[in-house]
Structure 1
């Protein structure tokens, strides 16, 4: 039985927190999603453990994730949110609550929803990221544009010891089948920084072909990530429930398993499916 940690699971409750990105969304996503709804899919996909990831820029969302973690034996970590534009508040929340939380394992901000692609480079945000660096708390980067990767590279210059992971492989050009263009150039540069990691996740929705995407479509991009970041700095995430737009949770994991087990031997695939995530998030 292959050990797998799913490092990218969302829950949200429309009665508990605000989710601005869901306004006017007409898909299956615009409803409350509880962790129990994943039970059957998790068993079918053979997932050992999971990490909950921030879904909105407010503390109510973080509280919901922490409660869910305490109530769900297989959830081992939470990637929370902090008001990074306010370093004093960031430090206070960390010291009063999150540093004492056994489940708080990382921080994320939905930078892809900010109008300014350089949002992370604001001096106050850099100060907050420096606090994360000092406390050894990793940061999830949601890069959907090449400019977001450029911004992350600039952050790495200013906060060199901050561990960062690119969620969803920073949206590779699967849709256009480009190999590998501007995305590839920037990800190659990022891979040269020892503190950048790559999360193999969200590739079904990235493909643009929700009905028919397959291992063949994503394999070149997964191979690229493994080649450049190495088998010690890549790990996987299912991106539930967002990934449901492009098929079942089981399909997502079957495709990832097919690709990674084809590219790697059992020793290295175990690192990508399990131990790298354990190391990065200190699970």
Structure 2
């Protein structure tokens, strides 16, 4: 069983999707489930998790509708405003969809480095466990110390760090990131997505070996029970094809056993997101 834990779908809108810069022109297009499914099949991947890219409840409904139309979308990570006064009502409302597995907020775009520690935000996060929802942490390396404090507040909550917290792979800066992500080793409720590697690399000149130190570090810190494959398609297309994205992980994890690879490629995703 292989599950891609991190895919995005959108109908491109230059206003809504203003985060897509001219350097990322290759993804200034519509990307829908029917576009990725053949690529998944080629790489032996049978299911995926659709993750929000826009901060609106409309986005959550859009992804839920796609999941209803396509069986291979095994789960959705949507968006809801955790700071809203009616957050309890909104979470109760969204709990009716079994394909909705969790939520995410684009913390990396917030002006406050300690946004995760806002009291109103944390009050919303505290309600997630009631419904068994996960929370994906989307941050940059500078946010890791705040994220560590954040997850410690919620020992019963399932967290997933997206994209290894986006280390500076292109510049091959690893020491500070490694120092700040290592403490998560002891926090069993935190997993890490092995996704977005090529997005943080040198899009035009990356080599397989560029990613090895980061792959090894994450496996060492989180262990093979808490690391999850994700393609970050279509964002990955800025630097690599879907197949190349899969090859990056395959060629940098040849030392793992068959059982460990099964966990990395699908088993851990199925467990963390409660999907099959």
1:110-259 matches, within 5 Å, as 110-146=106-142, 148-178=143-173, 180-207=174-201, 209-259=202-252
Deviation for aligned residue 1:93: 1.7
Alignment of 1:81-92 (within 5 A): 81-86=79-84, 88-92=85-89
TM superposition shift of 1:157: 2.5
Question: RMSD of the TM alignment (CA)?
Answer: 1.9
Q: For residue 20 of structure 1, report the CA deviation from its aligned partner.
A: 4.3
Q: Report if aligned partners of 1:214, 1:255 keep a CA contact under 8 Å in 2.
A: no
Q: Label 1:278 to 1:26 Cα distance change in 2 as closer, same or farther (>3 A).
A: closer
Cα distance in 2 between the residues matched to 1:5 and 1:26: 26
Q: 1:59 and 2:54 equivalent?
A: no
SS in 2 for 1:67: helix
For structure 2, the residue ranges without an aligned partner over 5 or more in a row are: none
After the TM superposition, list the runs of 4 or more consecutive aligned residues in structure 1 that deviate by more than 6 angstroms: none
Q: Could you report, residue by residue, the CA deviation over 1:90-143 in whole angstroms, capped at 9, with x for unpaired residues?
A: 2212212x2110110111001111111211211110000100133331110112
SS in 2 for 1:216: helix
Structural mapping, 1:7-18, within 5 Å: 7-14=5-12, 18=16
Task: Report which stretch shifted further, 229-238 or 215-224.
Answer: 215-224
Distance 1:134 1:149 in 2: 26
- The alignment of Structure 1 onto Structure 2 pairs a total of residues equal to 275
Partner residue of 1:28? 26
Q: Distance in 2 between matches of 1:200 and 1:67?
A: 27
- Indicate if the aligned counterparts of 2:106 and 2:139 stay in contact, CA closer than 8 A: no
Unmatched tracts of structure 1, length 5 or more: none
Contact 2:10/2:31 (CA < 8 Å) preserved in 1? yes
Give the 3-state SS of the residue equivalent to 2:10 in structure 1.
coil
Following superposition, the deviation at residue 276 of structure 1 comes to 0.5
* 1:156-178 Cα distance to aligned partner (Å, 9 max, x none): 23222221111111112322223
Cα distance in 1 for partners of 2:180, 2:132 equals 25
1:273 paired with 2:265, answer: yes
Separation (CA, whole Å) in 1 of partners of 2:255 and 2:214 = 12
1:214 and 1:43, CA in 2 relative to 1: closer, same or farther beyond 3 A?
A: farther
Structure 2 match to 1:93:
90
> Which TM-score applies when normalising by structure 1?
0.91
Kept after mapping to 2: 8 A contact 1:111/1:141: yes
Cα displacement (A) at 1:197:
0.8
Give 3-state SS (helix, strand or coil) of 1:21's partner: coil
Change (3 A) 1:74 1:137: same
